[in-house]
């Protein structure tokens, strides 16, 4: 089979949460570029509208929805609306998330100083909203007996990570195991559930602090390749897990981290 067929998403209906910037934007682009109709979910009204307009201007298929993933009822309704409008739901990328506060190398990030409000907010957005996204999507995919779900975890959820905070690492560890759990249930319905565990990428998370030279160097020093990644570098793996070529892959949480978890 030629590569074009292996990665062809023509006619597929996709949802990407947190699509207005960063990894979500890059993933939405690559899905649309390979034929999918992409529903762009984000709380950023202007950002998601601008992305939808740009994709349409390039002759690609997209729609936008202003969705706050912390509002679980609204999130589930938005997923249902896409599936109802198009008669199916083929690909869902659960990407939306936030940073988890100071890392454990700082006094503010020490375990005794982690506040309940921060802990609860990070787990609600990074883990509970991912669960709700998968839950709402699975209902439609089980009925049609097909689908792909990809959740964005983190290498901080695969092992201890002093560069991140307790809430972030814990939430992303939960996402990784949520992927494994859901993959078992949904496999008989030909619904494939996988995760991506990024290392440091140049995104706007934590207010884009990773772009600051000192912060970037601190992260780059942990990576065997000696640098942080550009958001476009997520595209290949995201497309792989969404496309026909990964038809025998489920329950995997794949690092994309410049070799960080290899050491």
Just list the catalytic residues: 168
Task: For residue 225, count other CB atoms closer than 10 A to its CB.
Answer: 12
DSSP string of 56-123, one letter each residue: HHTT-EEEEEE--TTSHHHHHHHHHHHHHHHS---EEEE------SS-TTSSTTSGGG--HHHHHHHH
Yes or no: say if 15 and 147 are a contact pair by the CB < 8 Å rule.
no
What are the structure tokens assigned to 88, written together?
């199916």
Angle between helix 129-144 and helix 166-186 axes, rounded to 10 deg: 10
Helices and strands (DSSP H and E) totals, the chain: 10, 7
Cα 65 from Cα 49, distance rounded (Å): 8
| Ordered strands of the 13-17 beta sheet | 61-66, 37-42, 13-17, 91-94, 147-152, 191-198, 253-256
User: What 8-state DSSP symbol labels residue 230?
Assistant: P
Q: How large is the C-alpha radius of gyration of the chain? A: 18
User: What 8-state DSSP symbol labels residue 164?
Assistant: S
Cα 95 from Cα 251, distance rounded (Å): 17
């Amino acid at each position: 089979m030629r590569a074009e067929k292996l990665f062809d998403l023509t006619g597929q209906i996709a949802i990407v949460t947190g699509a207005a910037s960063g990894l979500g934007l890059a993933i939405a682009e690559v899905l649309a570029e390979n034929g999918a109709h992409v529903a762009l979910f984000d709380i950023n009204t202007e950002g998601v509208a601008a992305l939808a307009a740009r994709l349409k201007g390039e002759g690609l298929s997209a729609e936008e929805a202003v969705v706050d993933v912390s509002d679980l009822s609204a999130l589930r309704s938005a997923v249902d609306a896409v599936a109802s409008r198009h008669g199916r739901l083929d690909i869902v990328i659960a990407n939306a998330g936030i940073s988890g506060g100071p890392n454990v190398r700082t006094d503010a990030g020490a375990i005794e100083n982690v506040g309940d409000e921060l802990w609860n907010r990070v787990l609600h957005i990074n883990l509970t909203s991912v669960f709700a996204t998968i839950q709402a999507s699975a209902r439609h995919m089980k009925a049609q007996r097909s689908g792909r779900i990809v959740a964005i975890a983190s290498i901080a959820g695969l092992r201890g990570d002093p560069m991140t905070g307790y809430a972030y690492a814990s939430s992303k560890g939960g996402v990784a195991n949520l992927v494994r759990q859901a993959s078992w249930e949904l496999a008989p319905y030909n619904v494939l559930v996988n995760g991506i565990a990024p290392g440091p990428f140049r995104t706007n998370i934590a207010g884009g602090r990773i772009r600051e030279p000192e912060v970037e160097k601190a992260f780059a020093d942990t990576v065997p390749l000696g640098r942080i990644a550009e958001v476009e570098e997520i595209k290949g793996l995201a497309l792989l897990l969404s496309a026909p070529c990964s038809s025998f892959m489920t329950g995997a949480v794949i690092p994309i981290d410049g070799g960080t978890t290899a050491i």
